[in-house]
Structure 1
Amino acid sequence: MIRKPIGFLLAAMVMFASCNNDEAPMPQQSEKPALPPEASMAPDMTMFDDEGQEQARLSAVTNWAYAAVNVGVYSSILYSHLVVPVTAFKATIGTEASFDEEAGLWVWEKDFDVEGHGSYDIRLTANVQDENVNWMGYISGEGNVDNFVWFTGTSNVTGEAGYWELFESPESPSVWLSNAWEYDKETGNGSTTFNVEKEGDNLGSSITYRIDNDMEMDRSVIISNTSLDNEILVNWSKADKYGQVKSESHFESSAYFCWDANLQNISCE
């Protein structure tokens, strides 16, 4: 009888065991991606909806008021109708992420409250695929909301460009707003363009919010209203509150119309 060396038999047993191991390998931990900036989903448009300025809004049909009414259509969608997912995303900013080895995902978790709506928690996951990241925002809380995916998106791993989709509600789980965004991490300059996907008068309309910290009027929006075939351009200073608005259909002019720091009409210089 020919005796095979013991080493050969051990090696064969190891190979046999490895070939018959049905357990999938654990996902490798990827580099933690950067969270997209707050302005990618929640641009600061409080210049036009601050309660302290409500009297100025109602006192006269000023140039500022015309801008405020039109910006208000989109800020209402974001901060009233979609306030839960928008607040959820803002809550994750500054929160430490952990890596779920079993799922192969980076995870941000946070409890948060929404005034008038109640308490919620978010589980934001990031699936890193090479240089791209797929995001999913699972939200649970009031009204039997249980792990509802209220927003999804993609970005690059540096968090400087991507897009989001925000869904209307657990009762109506269709996309209300989609957007594309890009921001420079060093300067903070960039833009977010929101598109209305929901059926209705505003379907297909859009608003682009821009930050340019090199300009005196460092904030701007461009509103395209498909139902009125109208484009509105608004520029303002975040710190000093003065600004200007242009709408050929409303003012019957291609010129800008301005307001001062007190939101009152002035001549544009």
Structure 2
Amino acid sequence: MNNWRVYGILLVFALVFTASCENSDDDTDLDNNLALPPYESMVIDFGDFADNSNAGKSTALVYDNKEPNGNWVFSRLVVGVWNTALFTSLAVPVASFKSSFAHSPVDLGDNLWQWTYSVDGFTSEYTARLTGEVTGEEVLWNMYITKVGIGAFGEFLWFSGSSNMDGNSGHWILNESPEKPLAMLRIDWERSNDEIGNIRYTWVRELDEQENDDLFKDSYLEYGLQDGPLNAYFDAHAYDENTEVFSDIRIEWSRDTYLGRVRAVDYFQDEEWHCWDANGDDVQCE
């Protein structure tokens, strides 16, 4: 069985932001102001793979001092790498975006709106300035963050993006940090039936911390909805430093019963599906 150290290494590079998956009131057009894209356009719902009983899933998936089984645990590790990333270096810009839903924008004229506010939830003082500019059939978004106090920095463009006027698709580009103001992560999203039907995180950073070519560039994790009993999926595509090639993983599960399956040739050393039941226990695939 391949050690698949890629996930440990990706964990070292964990990069992204606070991942509370609360529903936001993103469809409301406040007093005819410009409506924001959904907050969930930045946050994949990892709830069915969270190891806690408050994730909106069956509590049977919570391990009660027992040795966990391999198939669901491996799948949880795969998505957990990216989920962990959502709690680290990009916590500030994503929290800033989430906070924007509690504020109304100012119409600056020339099809430009602006939100300005302090960001809650941090010991340091951050101020956010979000702009949305209507240009033809899309809206261009820019989020600027300022910090005062220890580690202060001036206004920094931490992410940008665009969305269609109907609010059903778009993308985000998140920059690494004020110290390294280069693109790190791209998020492409689509909404259908009032929920995110497809979202993909793509690692776009060109250089790693040692200023070498980032071997994980073009790695991605995609979440989507599909028809059938297993109505949700993750597709992971990531660089494996052992084999020095990109490896692929497909995870499918039911959002209703939580049973599912995973296929990972490089990890399991076969092309078969490996399944788990609603308790997270390994079972034979039907």
Judge conservation of contact 1:64–1:264 (CA < 8 Å) in 2. Answer: yes
Is 1:248 matched with 2:265?
yes
Residue 15 of structure 1: aligned partner: none
SS of residue matched to 1:92: helix
Q: CA deviation at 1:259?
A: 1.8
Is there any run of 5+ residues in structure 2 with no aligned partner, and where? Answer: 1-31, 54-60, 208-213
Q: CA deviation at 1:90?
A: 2.1
Alignment of 1:1-269 (within 5 A): 32-51=33-52, 59-60=67-68, 62-93=70-101, 95-101=103-109, 104-114=111-121, 118-141=124-147, 143-184=151-192, 186-198=193-205, 199=207, 200-212=214-226, 215-227=228-240, 228-269=245-286
Number of aligned residue pairs: give it: 235
Residue 20 of structure 2: aligned partner: none
Judge conservation of contact 1:135–1:153 (CA < 8 Å) in 2. Answer: yes
SS of residue matched to 1:34: coil
Judge conservation of contact 2:143–2:160 (CA < 8 Å) in 1. Answer: yes
Q: 2:219 is matched by which residue type in structure 1? A: S
Q: Which has the greater radius of gyration?
A: 1
1: CA distance, partners of 2:237 / 2:73: 18
1: CA distance, partners of 2:101 / 2:51: 23
Q: CA deviation at 1:156?
A: 1.1
SS of residue matched to 1:203: coil
Q: 1:191 is matched by which residue type in structure 2? A: N
Distance 1:236 1:113, change over 3 A: farther
Q: CA deviation at 1:155?
A: 1.3
Q: CA deviation at 1:189?
A: 4.8
* Percent identity (aligned): 30
- Deviation track 1:29-65 (CA, whole Å, cap 9, x = no partner) reads xx74432222321111133344567857993351111
Q: CA deviation at 1:137?
A: 0.7
Q: 1:127 is matched by which residue type in structure 2? A: E
Residue 26 of structure 1: aligned partner: none
TM-score when normalising by structure 2: 0.72
SS of residue matched to 2:195: coil
2: CA distance, partners of 1:90 / 1:57: 35
Write out the 4+ residue segments of structure 1 that deviate beyond 4 Å after TM superposition.
Answer: 51-58
Q: CA deviation at 1:267?
A: 2.1
Q: 1:149 is matched by which residue type in structure 2? A: L
2: CA distance, partners of 1:110 / 1:32: 17
Is there any run of 5+ residues in structure 1 with no aligned partner, and where? Answer: 1-30
2: CA distance, partners of 1:171 / 1:124: 20
Judge conservation of contact 2:132–2:142 (CA < 8 Å) in 1. Answer: yes
SS of residue matched to 1:59: coil
2: CA distance, partners of 1:243 / 1:118: 42
Q: 2:138 is matched by which residue type in structure 1? A: N
TM-score when normalising by structure 1: 0.76
Judge conservation of contact 1:92–1:108 (CA < 8 Å) in 2. Answer: yes
Q: 1:206 is matched by which residue type in structure 2? A: Y
SS of residue matched to 1:79: coil
2: CA distance, partners of 1:239 / 1:267: 20
User: Which range moves more in the overlay, 236-245 or 84-93?
Assistant: 236-245
1: CA distance, partners of 2:131 / 2:65: 41
Judge conservation of contact 1:193–1:208 (CA < 8 Å) in 2. Answer: yes
Residue 13 of structure 1: aligned partner: none
Q: CA deviation at 1:207?
A: 1.0
Tell me how large the CA RMSD over aligned residues is: 2.7
2: CA distance, partners of 1:99 / 1:244: 49
User: Which range moves more in the overlay, 41-50 or 149-158?
Assistant: 41-50
Judge conservation of contact 1:138–1:148 (CA < 8 Å) in 2. Answer: yes
